[in-house]
Amino acid sequence: MVIALLGVPIAQAIYYSMTNWNGLTATWIGPSTYTRALHDPIFWRVLENNGLLLLAIPFAIGIPLGVAALLNEHVRGWRFFRSVYFLPTAVSWVVIGMVALQFFALDGLMNKMLADIGLGSFQTDMLAGQRSALVALAITFVWSMLGTNTIIFLTGMATLDPTLTEAARVDGLARRQIFFRVTLPLLKRFIQFSFVITMISAFSALFSLIFVMTGGGPGLGTTTLEFFVYQAGFAQGQFGTGALYGIILFVIMIVVGLVQLRLIRSQDGEGW
Amino acid sequence: MTAAPAAPASPADVRRSRGRARKRALNGWVFLLMAVVAVVMLYPFYFLLDNAFRTQTQFDQQSGHSLAGWTQLFRDLPVGSELLNSMIVCAASIAIILLVSTTAGFAFAKLRYRGSGLVFLLVVAALMVPLQSIIIPEYVNLAKYSLINSYVGAILVYVALGTPFATFLMATYYRGISDELIEAAVMDGLGYERTFLQIALPLSLPAIATVTVLQFIQIWDDLLVGLLFLQPGQRTITVGLAALSAGRTTSIPALMAGSFISAVPAIVVYLIFQRHLVKGLTLGMGK
């Protein structure tokens, strides 16, 4: 059944992607649809957005790493903090987007805060600009990934042998040095895992957020590949084009997955 | 602060107490930082609740409270029936996912048959398929069998999306149960079916809980599938809310109230089953 509902559609999608299809009639065109797409400036504009979203990933991983390191000190109430940070995981992107929309609005909280700290001249309507809207989207994304990645790193840190950091401390390494030279290298595997999760989310889980926050706009400012599939297919009725972009997205994901697998394999081989 | 008292104190003592003081100060800073992050994470929820109890003008001025948002929400959105829709879709999808993933997971872990490795690989590969890549053909297929006018279409899609990971998780869990136990039970004449039902299934309750919680949150919070495969009358609360916000007609407080209502069930499930959720996430690493 899984194959019927996942495998067959993939094959169909590949077929449809080579047709000119408006939902009623499909005319076979052939692989030239792909070369045409590659010459389409809209495609590159959309892909550019996906690329720019990648820039958010270091933040989506770096911040949780720091947070996890602090939580791992087990200060009073760290369990409570952990639950709080993870909370957005339970909340739908629709709700998150709804609140983010108010936060970034021209008379929203962000601009009010800017005014309060005397930076009133920096007030902007972030969602009105193509680039700034994407930044707003990325910030919201980083915010909601914080809990997930923190949990991954905490789990990783729990698997570490405490005698290692102890030994490093005896050897006279400062805390920061211990973190960067001992803990971080040992967490490599977990960092890779969180990279995959974050990237998959950035490329294929943001539909609802985009739908609620920007609707892909202004212009094509926040239209990523996954949103474009919906736009082309269901909003404009160009099912063939939509399917084609779906396939491109699929290929990107597979490539990322394979590279990832390679990395993990080669490391296991070295036995780090 | 760190000066040694009049009583004779060795340099080591001094150093230790100084170290302790520094540790305490450091913990204080860490705590403060954690608290700041907590505020950043929690403030949106406070904002949500606070502004749900306002009228549009009160929202603009950010002062005063009222129930107007709620009355408007209930007028614009069939909250009750949409919550019910969410429940129906979630329950049916999860039931099928559990049925498939427990049996399939057990088979992959404990039974050897020709090609089982290959089939398992296919299931894992299915994990990589992004929903957007298949959604258009899926839509056309289900429309062909006119399944998009009922819950069935959406449920099937949720099942197809959720089953690979659930099966993977269950198989991982069943591998952890010793083969001897299963074989002993089969030897005792239980047969594979009853061994599965009476021994393996009860043992795997924690994994079942993990799958249930993960899927519940995923399906409850989903927009895309529900938006495309459910007719307005069968919309889940999340979809209804998104549609409402796209309509631009309602006031922000009403949207905030709706957000709150739609978020509560998932948050409650999260708070109760937090541990299982975390386990599911980290099990995915395949250690």
Judging contacts by C-beta atoms under 8 Å, the chain B residues touching residue A81 are: 34-35, 37-38
- B24, B31, B34, B118, best to mutate vs chain A, most A CBs in 10 Å: B34
Residue scoring higher pLDDT (B147 or B238): B238
Distance of CA A207 to the CA centre of its chain: 11
- Provide mean pLDDT across the span B86-107: 88
Judging contacts by C-beta atoms under 8 Å, the chain B residues touching residue A148 are: 281
Phi, psi of B122 (to 5 degrees): -60, -40
For chain A, the average pLDDT equals: 77
Q: Give the pLDDT of residue A43.
A: 80
Banded pLDDT at B10 (limits 50, 70, 90)? low
Residue closest to B27 by CA, chosen among A75, A72, A68: A75
Q: Give the pLDDT of residue A119.
A: 67
Where do the H-state alpha helices sit in chain B? 11-52, 56-61, 68-76, 79-110, 116-126, 131-144, 151-175, 179-187, 191-195, 201-203, 205-221, 224-229, 237-247, 252-283
Amino acid at B29: W
Q: Give the pLDDT of residue B95.
A: 92
Residue A11: count other Cβ atoms within 10 Å of its Cβ: 11
- What is the DSSP code (8-state) at residue B3? P
Residue A265: count other Cβ atoms within 10 Å of its Cβ: 9
* Closest B-chain CA to A70: B30
Residue B237 contacts residue B79 (beta carbons within 8 Å): yes
Q: What is the pTM of this model?
A: 0.81
Amino acid at A131: R
Residue B282 contacts residue A99 (beta carbons within 8 Å): no
- pLDDT tens sequence across B118-131: 777 777 777 777 77
What is the Cα–Cα distance from B244 to B241, expressed in whole angstroms?
Answer: 5
Residue A220 contacts residue A46 (beta carbons within 8 Å): yes
Q: Give the pLDDT of residue B105.
A: 85
* Closest B-chain CA to A12: B137
Where do the H-state alpha helices sit in chain A? 2, 8-17, 32-38, 41-54, 57-71, 78-86, 93-104, 109-116, 130-159, 162-170, 175-178, 184-186, 188-204, 207-213, 225-230, 239-270
Domain layout of chain A by residue ranges: 59-218
CB-side neighbour CA atoms (13 Å) of A92: 33
- pLDDT tens sequence across B230-248: 877 788 888 888 888 776 5
A6 to chain B, closest Cα gap in Å: 7
- Predicted confidence (pLDDT) at residue B275 exceeds the cutoff of 80: no
**Which run of H or E residues covers position A20?**
strand A19-21
Q: Give the pLDDT of residue B19.
A: 67
Residue A34 contacts residue A244 (beta carbons within 8 Å): yes
Distance of CA A185 to the CA centre of its chain: 23
Banded pLDDT at B174 (limits 50, 70, 90)? confident
Judging contacts by C-beta atoms under 8 Å, the chain B residues touching residue A89 are: 217, 270, 277
Residue A99 contacts residue B44 (beta carbons within 8 Å): yes
Q: Do A215 and B41 touch (CB under 8 A)?
A: no
Q: Give the pLDDT of residue A271.
A: 33
Give the sign of the dihedral formed by CA A144, CA A148, CA A151, CA A157.
negative
C-alpha separations of A212 from A107, B238, B255 in Å: 18, 11, 12
Helix (H, G, I), strand (E, B) or coil at B62: coil
Q: Do B122 and A233 touch (CB under 8 A)?
A: no
Residue B187: count other Cβ atoms within 10 Å of its Cβ: 10
- What is the DSSP code (8-state) at residue B146? T
Judging contacts by C-beta atoms under 8 Å, the chain B residues touching residue A91 are: 221, 263, 266-267
Phi, psi of A108 (to 5 degrees): -85, -175
B112 φ/ψ sector (left φ>0, alpha ψ -120 to 50, else beta): beta
* Closest A-chain CA to B229: A234
**How big is the A-B interface in CB pairs under 8 Å?**
222
For tokens 């987007």, what's the residue? A97
What is the Cα–Cα distance from B251 to B244, expressed in whole angstroms?
Answer: 10
Beta strands A19-21 and A26-28: pairing type?
antiparallel
What is the Cα–Cα distance from A61 to A192, expressed in whole angstroms?
Answer: 10
* Closest A-chain CA to B219: A92
> The CATH number of A59-218 is which of 1.20.1090.10, 1.10.3720.10, 1.10.287.3510, 1.20.1050.10?
1.10.3720.10
Q: Do B34 and A78 touch (CB under 8 A)?
A: yes
Establish whether this prediction's ipTM goes over 0.90. no
Residue B216 contacts residue B266 (beta carbons within 8 Å): yes
pLDDT per residue rounded down to tens, chain A (272 residues): 455 555 555 555 555 554 555 444 555 555 666 666 676 777 888 888 888 888 888 898 999 998 888 888 777 788 888 888 888 888 888 888 888 888 887 777 777 777 777 666 666 777 777 788 888 888 889 998 888 888 888 888 887 777 877 788 787 777 778 888 888 888 888 888 888 888 888 888 888 888 888 877 777 778 888 888 888 777 777 777 777 888 888 888 888 777 777 776 655 543 32
- B133, B218, B267, B282, best to mutate vs chain A, most A CBs in 10 Å: B133
Class of CATH domain B78-283: mainly alpha
Facing residue for A208 by CB, picked from B40, B217, B242: B242
Q: Give the pLDDT of residue A264.
A: 64
Q: Do A242 and B224 touch (CB under 8 A)?
A: no
